[in-house]
Amino acid sequence: MDVQVKAHLFNRAQPKRGPIAMANNKATKNSKKEEEKLPKKSIADLLKQLALATSASSEDDTEEQKPKPMSEYKFWKTQPVTKFNEAVSEEGPIDRREDVSRVPKEPYAILDLFEWSDLDIEDDSEMSELYELLYEHYVEDHDSTFRFAYGKAFFNWALKTPGWKKQWHLGVRVKKTKKLVAFISAVPATLRVRGNTFKAVEINFLCVHKQLRNKRLAPLLIKEITRRVHLENVWQALYTSGTLLPSPISTCRYAHRPLNWEKLCDVGFSALPLGKTRAQMVAKYALPSITKCTGLRRMEVRDVDAVHSLFTRFQKRYQLTQLFTKEELTHLLLGDDEEQEKPDGEKVIVTYVVENTEKKITDFFSFYVLPFTVLNNSVYKSLGVGYLYYYATETGLDKPRYDAQATNELKKRLENLISDALVLAKGIGMDVFNAMTSQDNVLFLEDLKFGPGDGFLNYYLFNYKAFPVGGGFDSQTREYELEKRSDVGVVML
């Protein structure tokens, strides 16, 4: 790759990732020592959240994840999760004692200074408290240059999926001041791992105030949310993290597609490669101003039945998926009533369908929007970041997934669809577009000029052992698995 799209924040945390270091082996080696002193966890999770690492070209530049011995996972060794290298002979729950009557009715004891708090995110002031906690503490920003611009609409979308429960938006407050200092969330989900379907939750937004780190508050939050989920007779969970924990069912790699290369360069996300001019870089990432798929239009509520049918059939090709009811799919692809009324440029989730001349929905794609606020920059106040979400197409769906002709057709179709997604994203002010190596994404990443990132995202199942699920890249060579692709069909926020 001749371009480096780098996370500015990430670079501050890891000097070796800078363009100068990339061009200079010695500098890279020296700074590797510095990197060892840095907190790996925050760097890795920063990547998860920012999803904007360099388009590193060498293996050496990718984030290395090494497991600790199991005995050192003081908390995780006590939990029903698979150990590293544990041989799985049969897929299924690890602890089968699923008896709600045995679940403690009272919350776990917490230090007297603190108290548990069910966050009421329907209340504007509590929503703002959550926003502030995550804004200040979810991402490690060493010099306060960038912050996630979470908004009410984002939380409404992410935390209020059908069946959501207030007691699963779990906070910790300082008893005296009532200040919110930690949070974890669960939302209901139905998961499918190969042939098995089961009720579960998705866990997200685990966050502890920076001044309360390394005090074992995270394990307490996890145990308490587990108790609350168990009380609802749910015994499995799916979660993702850049942090390596025992033990991922899959790992996917990030990829990033600059949409507004000049701005990314000006704010320090992209660097001008040696021997290239700005004009050449701008030309390289130029996109048409209009979309090319005939029949492309915004998805509406009247499309839900057709999209649900297409999506459900399409998702069967993957081994790890979430099953959605029509109500869930409406929420995830269209948002609530208020969100549906908004123009694309104000939306959190943008979904388009392709309708053919017979009025049949043949394809859809979606992306969500989570911008950054740019601090201390006289020119730019924010950075638009779009994330590829779900998609499906009829193309090739009548043939087996790995059929050569079906693959070729699918590749071409996805290139057209996702290139339209890029055009739309750029049209509403996105500066960069992120995707994982999950789903069938590796078929189009390179041709659509996504650069492979340094970041890796691990997928975990709680209380469920399963054979590994392909993440779309080869863990040895770090190359995309163009033939096998990924079997991960879930997209986590």
Ligand X SMILES: CCCCCCCCCCCCCC(=O)SCCNC(=O)CCNC(=O)[C@H](O)C(C)(C)COP(=O)(O)OP(=O)(O)OC[C@H]1O[C@@H](n2cnc3c(N)ncnc32)[C@H](O)[C@@H]1OP(=O)(O)O
Catalytic residues: 493
Does position 462 interact with ligand X (CB under 6 A)? The reply is yes
428 φ, ψ (degrees, to nearest 5)? -105, 25
Identify the bridge partners of residue 464 per DSSP, sorted by sequence position. Answer: none
Q: Which residues of 186-205 are buried (b: 16+ CB within 10 A; e: fewer)?
A: bbbbebbbeeeebebbbbbb
Whichever of 243 and 340 has its CB closer to ligand X, that residue is 243
CA dihedral 403, 408, 411, 417 (to 10 degrees): -110
| Closest CB 459 distance from ligand X, rounded Å | 11
Does position 213 interact with ligand X (CB under 6 A)? The reply is yes
The residue range among 29-37, 240-248, 277-285, 341-349 that interacts with ligand X, by the rule CB under 6 A, is 240-248
Does position 102 interact with ligand X (CB under 6 A)? The reply is no
Cα–Cα separations (whole angstroms), residue 380 to 65, 259, 262, 264: 34, 16, 12, 10
Cα separation, 425 vs 411, whole angstroms: 20
Residues 440, 485: contact at Cβ < 8 Å? yes
Considering only 146, 205, 433, 464, the residue that binds ligand X (CB under 6 A) is 205
Cα separation, 170 vs 188, whole angstroms: 14
Does position 206 interact with ligand X (CB under 6 A)? The reply is yes
Considering only 245, 264, 385, 417, the residue that binds ligand X (CB under 6 A) is 245
Over the window 121 to 160, marking each residue x when it contacts ligand X by CB under 6 A and - when it does not, the resulting string is ----------------xx----------------------
The residue range among 228-236, 267-275, 397-405, 421-429 that interacts with ligand X, by the rule CB under 6 A, is 228-236
Residues 114, 125: contact at Cβ < 8 Å? no
For the purposes of burial, counting CB atoms within 10 Å of the CB of 393, is it exposed (0-12), middle (13-18) or buried (19 or more)?
buried
Whichever of 245 and 255 has its CB closer to ligand X, that residue is 245
Does position 293 interact with ligand X (CB under 6 A)? The reply is no
Question: Which residue's beta carbon is nearest to the bound ligand X?
Answer: 45
Residues 169, 116: contact at Cβ < 8 Å? no
Whichever of 138 and 433 has its CB closer to ligand X, that residue is 138
430 φ, ψ (degrees, to nearest 5)? -75, 140
Whichever of 33 and 66 has its CB closer to ligand X, that residue is 66
| Closest CB 139 distance from ligand X, rounded Å | 7
Residues 69-88 touching ligand X, rule: CB under 6 A, are 73-76
Whichever of 45 and 61 has its CB closer to ligand X, that residue is 45
CA dihedral 170, 176, 180, 186 (to 10 degrees): 0
Q: Which two tokens stand for residue 480?
A: 């995309």
Does position 244 interact with ligand X (CB under 6 A)? The reply is no
Considering only 172, 222, 353, 385, the residue that binds ligand X (CB under 6 A) is 222
Q: Which two tokens stand for residue 70?
A: 């199991």
Q: Which residues of 358-389 are buried (b: 16+ CB within 10 A; e: fewer)?
A: eeebbbbbbbbbbbbbbeeeeeeebbbbbbbb
Whichever of 239 and 473 has its CB closer to ligand X, that residue is 239
Considering only 11, 82, 117, 241, the residue that binds ligand X (CB under 6 A) is 241
Does position 215 interact with ligand X (CB under 6 A)? The reply is yes
Q: Residue 15: helix, strand or coil by DSSP?
A: helix
Does position 243 interact with ligand X (CB under 6 A)? The reply is yes
Does position 239 interact with ligand X (CB under 6 A)? The reply is yes
Considering only 50, 172, 191, 208, the residue that binds ligand X (CB under 6 A) is 208
Whichever of 41 and 160 has its CB closer to ligand X, that residue is 41
Residues 420, 293: contact at Cβ < 8 Å? yes
Residues 2-61 touching ligand X, rule: CB under 6 A, are 41, 45
Calculate ∠ Cα 337-203-386, nearest 5°. Answer: 55
Whichever of 29 and 77 has its CB closer to ligand X, that residue is 77
Element (H, E) at 111: none
The residue range among 58-66, 207-215, 371-379, 398-406 that interacts with ligand X, by the rule CB under 6 A, is 207-215
| Closest CB 458 distance from ligand X, rounded Å | 9
| Closest CB 85 distance from ligand X, rounded Å | 17
Cα separation, 242 vs 459, whole angstroms: 9
Which residues bind to ligand X, rule: CB under 6 A? 41, 45, 73-76, 137-138, 201, 203-208, 213-219, 222, 225-226, 229, 234-237, 239, 241, 243, 245, 462-463
